[in-house]
């Protein structure tokens, strides 16, 4: 299986590694939205958020917190986005689960403002019911 992130983990491909522990590795995104844009990934290959076992998800979230804090302090950001694209429709291009941590500044020109919808009468409850019945306890 061809996976650029697995290649980075195995040392076959270069990366600016920011952090590493038993389960997680973090490195700079090669095409940053803003400089310092960092990815946090599990060392095991999982395609997306739903395929990551909870234990490893905990580890990756814990690491993401550390990295977000380090980015905020060291780059003096005004904020940051934590984003995970899941599936081609959502813009995922590398199918090894990752969080993006994107440094943000009041003056940056990056906007994520999609056209927002309105629910028609009663349809908000319909959507909520569909999702509620599918939530696993």
Rounded Cα–Cα distance for residues 133 and 131 (Å): 6
CB of 5 to ligand AMP, least distance (A): 7
Q: How many CA atoms lie within 13 A of 69 on its CB side?
A: 7
Q: Give whichever of 16 and 129 is closer to ligand AMP, judged by the CB atom.
A: 16
Residue closest to 88 by CA, chosen among 123, 45, 47: 47
Paired tokens of 36 = 């310092």
Q: Among the options 37, 96, 98, 100, which is catalytic? A: 98
93 binds, among ligand AMP, Zn ion, none (CB under 5 to 8 A by kind): ligand AMP
What are the distances in angstroms from CA 107 to CA 56, 77, 110, 111, 136? 35, 11, 9, 11, 42
Binding of residue 83 to Zn ion (CB under 5 A): no
92 binds, among Zn ion, ligand AMP, none (CB under 5 to 8 A by kind): ligand AMP
Catalytic-residue membership of 37: no
Spell 55-81 as b/e; 16+ CB within 10 A means b. ebbebbeebbeebbebbbeeeebeebb
31 binds, among Zn ion, ligand AMP, none (CB under 5 to 8 A by kind): ligand AMP
Which residues of the chain form contacts with ligand AMP (CB under 6 A)?
Answer: 4, 13, 15, 29-31, 85, 91-94
Binding of residue 4 to Zn ion (CB under 5 A): no
Q: Give whichever of 34 and 92 is closer to ligand AMP, judged by the CB atom.
A: 92
Active site residues: 98
């Amino acid at each position: 299986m061809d996976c650029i992130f697995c290649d980075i983990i195995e040392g076959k491909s270069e990366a600016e590694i920011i952090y590493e522990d038993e389960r997680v590795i973090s490195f700079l995104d090669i095409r940053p939205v803003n400089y310092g844009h960092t990815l946090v990934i599990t060392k095991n290959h999982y395609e997306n958020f739903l395929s990551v076992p909870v234990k490893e998800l905990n580890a990756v979230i814990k690491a993401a917190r550390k990295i977000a804090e380090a980015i905020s302090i060291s780059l003096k950001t005004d904020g940051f986005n934590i984003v995970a694209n899941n599936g081609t429709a959502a813009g995922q291009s590398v199918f090894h689960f990752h969080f993006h941590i994107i440094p943000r500044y009041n003056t940056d020109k990056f906007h994520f403002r999609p056209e927002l919808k309105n629910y028609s009468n009663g349809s908000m409850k319909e959507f909520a019911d569909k999702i509620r019945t599918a939530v696993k306890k």
